[in-house]
């Protein structure tokens, strides 16, 4: 399997409206020291939607530089504009990324044929492994299992999917149609364990921003056949998973990182700070897990 285990969908620290490079490097270094299996800059959790093109490239560059080849980096390079997605993917390859993560085109609402054509154009333009990001809650469309299988079979650089549907029927059918060489990574922290049980390779996780060692251990325990240990970690992480999605991601996880001393809570509009009752709930969970 090309990519397996726990990958962190990294937040992007800001200070005074700019990328806080020092805090970002510190977070990446801690993630690697804690045993994370890989890193994903410029995804949803990294607030990619409000990064300028120059900032997007900077975030990818910093992550790859700090990782120093110790873990793979899957760079977010998606767009609803195919030409823009190609440009970002070219940069990711030039910077040394191991793969690019491509959200399905949002707002445009292409057909299944349009999704296929979008990924095919990217693959033809850039020689880099591609992970499709299937997140219908954000994009208003779903990559159907048959379409995913067709992309895997007919588009040379498509190697897998980040499946954030939380739909185990869809996940199982995708794996059934794509076969054992396909890399399916859960994009939903609540369904990591059942995704692994169905044949998934791991997770691109939000929660691992806060507990990278435990999320990585969940995956490694399952892969080693210690199902009881994996199940115990799954249930132990569930309160934190709930807290991380009490409001729109990445607001809760960034707030948690600030409370843990890693960075400021600075977000970019239209994202705003947690409501007081949500913040109090998050703090109780963090205290219960001894993260403060």
Q: Which of 232, 279, 239 is nearest to 255 (CA)?
A: 279
Q: Is 290 a catalytic residue?
A: no
Q: At residue 113, does pLDDT exceed 70?
A: yes
Specify the DSSP element, H or E, that contains 76. Answer: strand 74-76
Catalytic residue, chosen from 93, 133, 254, 281, is 133
* Residue 16 domain flag: yes
Over range 68-90, report the average pLDDT. 97
CATH value at residue 139: 3.20.20.70
Question: What's the structural domain count of the chain?
Answer: 1
* Residue 276 domain flag: no
* Residue 112 domain flag: yes
* Residue 94 domain flag: yes
Whether omega for the bond prior to residue 103 falls within 30 degrees of 0, making it cis, is: no
Query: What are 147's two structure tokens?
Result: 């379409």
Q: What is the mean pLDDT of the chain?
A: 97
pLDDT band of residue 129 (cuts 50, 70, 90) is very high
* Residue 28 domain flag: yes
* Residue 160 domain flag: yes
Q: What is the pLDDT of residue 2?
A: 75
Q: What is the pLDDT of residue 208?
A: 98
Over range 223-246, report the average pLDDT. 98
Residue 116 belongs to domain spanning = 5-226
Q: What is the pLDDT of residue 286?
A: 98
* Residue 80 domain flag: yes
Q: Is 162 a catalytic residue?
A: yes
Over range 112-138, report the average pLDDT. 97
CB-based contact 47:268 (threshold 8 Å): yes
Phi first, then psi, for residue 32 (nearest 5°) are: -65, -45
Give the separation between CA 71 and CA 74, rounded to whole angstroms.
10
3-state DSSP assignment of residue 253: helix
pLDDT in tens, 192-203: 999 999 999 999
* Residue 289 domain flag: no
pLDDT in tens, 152-209: 999 999 999 999 999 999 999 999 999 999 999 999 999 999 999 999 999 999 999 9
pLDDT band of residue 104 (cuts 50, 70, 90) is very high
Over range 269-286, report the average pLDDT. 98
pLDDT band of residue 256 (cuts 50, 70, 90) is very high
Q: What is the pLDDT of residue 1?
A: 53
Whether omega for the bond prior to residue 38 falls within 30 degrees of 0, making it cis, is: no
Query: What are 283's two structure tokens?
Result: 């703090």
Catalytic residue, chosen from 23, 91, 93, 162, is 162
Q: At residue 78, does pLDDT exceed 90?
A: yes
């Amino acid at each position: 399997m090309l990519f397996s285990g726990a990958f962190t969908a990294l937040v992007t620290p800001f200070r005074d409206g700019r990328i806080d490079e020092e805090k970002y490097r510190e977070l990446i270094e801690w993630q690697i020291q804690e045993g994370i299996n890989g890193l994903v800059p410029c995804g949803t959790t990294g607030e990619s939607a409000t990064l300028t093109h120059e900032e997007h490239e900077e975030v990818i560059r910093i992550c790859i530089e700090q990782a120093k080849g110790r873990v793979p980096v899957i760079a977010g390079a998606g767009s609803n504009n195919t030409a823009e997605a190609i440009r970002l993917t070219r940069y990711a390859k030039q910077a040394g990324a191991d793969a690019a993560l491509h959200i399905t085109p949002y707002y445009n609402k292409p057909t299944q044929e349009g999704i296929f054509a979008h990924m095919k154009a990217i693959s033809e333009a850039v020689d880099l492994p591609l992970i499709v990001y299937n997140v219908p809650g954000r994009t208003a469309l779903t990559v159907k299992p048959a379409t995913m299988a067709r992309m895997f079979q007919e588009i040379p650089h498509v190697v897998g999917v980040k499946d954030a549907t939380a739909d185990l029927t869809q996940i199982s059918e995708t794996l059934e149609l794509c076969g054992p060489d396909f890399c399916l990574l859960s994009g939903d922290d609540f369904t990591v364990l059942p995704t692994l049980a169905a044949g998934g390779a791991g997770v691109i996780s939000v929660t691992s921003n806060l507990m990278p060692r435990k999320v990585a251990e969940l995956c490694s325990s399952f892969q080693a056949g210690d199902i009881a240990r994996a199940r115990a970690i799954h249930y132990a992480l569930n309160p934190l998973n709930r807290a991380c999605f009490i409001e729109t991601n990445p607001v809760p996880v960034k707030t948690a990182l600030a409370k843990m001393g890693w960075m400021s809570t600075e977000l970019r509009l239209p994202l705003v700070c947690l409501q007081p009752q949500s913040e109090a709930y998050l703090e109780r969970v963090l205290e219960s897990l001894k993260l403060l």
